[in-house]
Amino acid sequence: MHRTPTPLTGLLLLLFAFPGGAAEPPGAAPADAVYRNGRIFTANARNDVRSAIAIRAGRIVFVGDDRGAARYQGPKTRVVDLRGRTAMPGLIDGHMHPLEGGALLLKCSLKYEAMTVPEFQTRIQACLDATADREPDGWLEVVAWFQQNMQPAGVATSRATLDVLKTSRPIIVRSSFGHTVLANSRALALAHITRASVDPLGGQIARDASGEPTGILEDAAFEVYDKLLPKPTPEQDVAAARAALAALAQQGVTSFLDAAAPAESMAAFSAVERAGDLTARAHFAPVIAPTEAGDLAGAVARVVAFRSRYDQGPPVVAPRLTVRNAKLFLDGVIAGPSFTGAMLEPYRVNTGSESAPNWKSGPSRGPDVYFPAPALREALIGLGRAGIDPHMHVDGDRAVHEALDGVAALRKALPGRDIRPALAHDEIVAPADYPRYKALGAIAVLSLQWGKPASDTVDGLRDPLGPERARILEPSGLLAAAGAAIAFGSDWPVDPLDEWFALKVGVTRTNAPDAGSKYAGRLGADPGLTRVQVLRAATIEAARELHADRAIGSLEPGKLADLIVLDRDPLTIPAEDIAAIKVLETVVGGRVVYHAPVFDH
């Protein structure tokens, strides 16, 4: 039976014609900006590529061809001739630590470089000499130490490495992976870490053959320094937040998740937002620590209190703050020399010699998962009831397995609830667990740049894992083939902020050409991701992770105008060249927040 549309049903049909309900009637007002004559990857459900887009009042009003876009050009419209260049949604980084990344620029940094022990010592001594006025008691905090890339491979460092430096000051050196600290003897003494010290829950104090601390501290074992080191001032935190935002805009990042957000980070970015200077949509995941397992209701309440204080609601045109995630660390890192990832099968050890190795199954499967299974279930269900998405650090396959068990309990307890649990890193996953991601609606948030031959994946893991596990290391393509939702998270500053190198590795599974012949070729047997899968992981899939996909993540009428202009097309250039892509313009809510001097349109 034919039904004549009423005015109301006609309006509803018009609203549903476009995502966000923003259909444009004939004769609509001119747009504020029109980008034309380009290749615009939309990341919509069909992955359409169009030539033009129009923006008004911070939202997209048209995506289509140049002729259609011409209807939106008025005398005051900013018209950008892309001249064949590519535009796409702004990158959404689903796992990073931006305040720490910004602060890193202000500290003594080893810049992730490969170095010998003498080079390591020389660099740190230079920092000591440059701040000699802080003798004898001022702390020196050294950052961006690529511990796994010390030369020659496997060389050990200890407090003795630092004790020979010309200083009386306490020193700590933070591994770029974020799970290891090297402390000198003065720093150990101030922290009261001795041979009598007990390993804390979720941490480990490395010891020599006589039982003395070596200076290497893992995870919770170095949390004591959070209280001992002088805290940055609020002004310094705001400066770090501004530095991070400038770096993100240049990379094309328009939204991010602070994946272990301290109160200081939320306060700093909130201050920037109040000043009207926030240039990316800021999402925050406060940490629930394993030590809070005895009062998980209180821990969830603390996260909810942060949400009440800082969350500003769903995305609108001007970027603002969101707090609807919580971070839980379930293990450490699988890479040597730490081996603190929780594994289903033991790490292998060399029972032979360096010249005649004989690798066999050893006694350690890494630490127990930091949250016992009952506590993890309680935490996830409590977060789900509060409308908070859990974001779990899982490096080893045992941590992944128990995280998925926890998600299964969450789904059973809260059927139908729109909770989007994320499993971050997933460096080793048991093949039997691949299909569980899709079945449970768990999102794999992957640092794609790790999926390449490098010192941490080859020198530090190939032999300790053995051939079967090494071949499925960093299983991005294998998880995608099993139907898992894949989102991208750079984990900056664990690695340098280089989003396009990470996306290149996601496709090619190869290192940079200058990494040398030792690290040439592809990593393992994983097929990697397609170009479209990689771009979607850093746009619409990361938006879904953050419950923001109705507003951002794709270029569609009605959505917020978050987009970037690139100097080349990641869909058509040689895959290795994706790493060389430069962002020419970054737009957030219709506002240009970065414009490269070379971009002449």
The tens digit of pLDDT for each residue in 286-328 reads: 999 999 999 999 999 999 999 999 999 999 999 999 999 999 9
3-state helix, strand, coil in the chain (%, to 5): 35, 20, 45
Q: Is 385 helix (H, G, I), strand (E, B) or coil?
A: helix
Question: Amino acid letter at 21?
Answer: G
Neighbour-count burial for 299-328, b at 16+ CB within 10 Å, e otherwise: bbebbbebbeebbeeebebbbbbbbbbbbb
173 closest CA partner among 108, 242, 122: 108
Report the share of the chain in percent with pLDDT over 70.
Answer: 96
Residues 6 or more apart whose Cβ sits within 8 Å of residue 4:
none
How would residue 601 be classed by pLDDT, with cut points 50, 70 and 90? confident
Please check whether residue 556 is in contact with residue 63, taking contact to mean a CB–CB distance below 8 angstroms.
yes
Q: Are strands 86-89 and 563-566 parallel, antiparallel or unpaired?
A: antiparallel
How would residue 21 be classed by pLDDT, with cut points 50, 70 and 90? very low
Residue 6 pLDDT? 40
Please check whether residue 71 is in contact with residue 570, taking contact to mean a CB–CB distance below 8 angstroms.
no
The predicted-structure confidence for 247-264, as pLDDT tens digits, reads as follows 999 999 999 999 999 999
Average pLDDT of 471-484? Answer: 98
Residue 22 has pLDDT above 50, yes or no: no
d(CA 585, CA 85): 11
Q: What distances in angstroms separate CA 73 from CA 66, 69, 82, 575, one per listed residue?
A: 11, 7, 15, 36
Residue 336 pLDDT? 80
Query: What domains are there in the chain, each with its CATH number?
Result: 7-89+563-571+578-595 (2.30.40.10), 101-228 (3.10.310.70)
Residue 26 pLDDT? 54
Average pLDDT of 377-391? Answer: 98
How would residue 25 be classed by pLDDT, with cut points 50, 70 and 90? low
Residue 13 pLDDT? 35
Residue 2 pLDDT? 37
Average pLDDT of 383-394? Answer: 98
| Token pair in block for residue 394 | 């899982």
Average pLDDT of 575-587? Answer: 98
Q: What pTM was estimated for this model as a whole?
A: 0.85
How would residue 27 be classed by pLDDT, with cut points 50, 70 and 90? low
d(CA 38, CA 51): 5
Q: Which residues pair with 389 in a beta bridge?
A: 325
Residue 24 pLDDT? 58
The predicted-structure confidence for 403-416, as pLDDT tens digits, reads as follows 999 999 999 999 99
Place of tokens 């980008």: 35
Residue 355 has pLDDT above 50, yes or no: yes
487 closest CA partner among 436, 435, 439, 544: 544
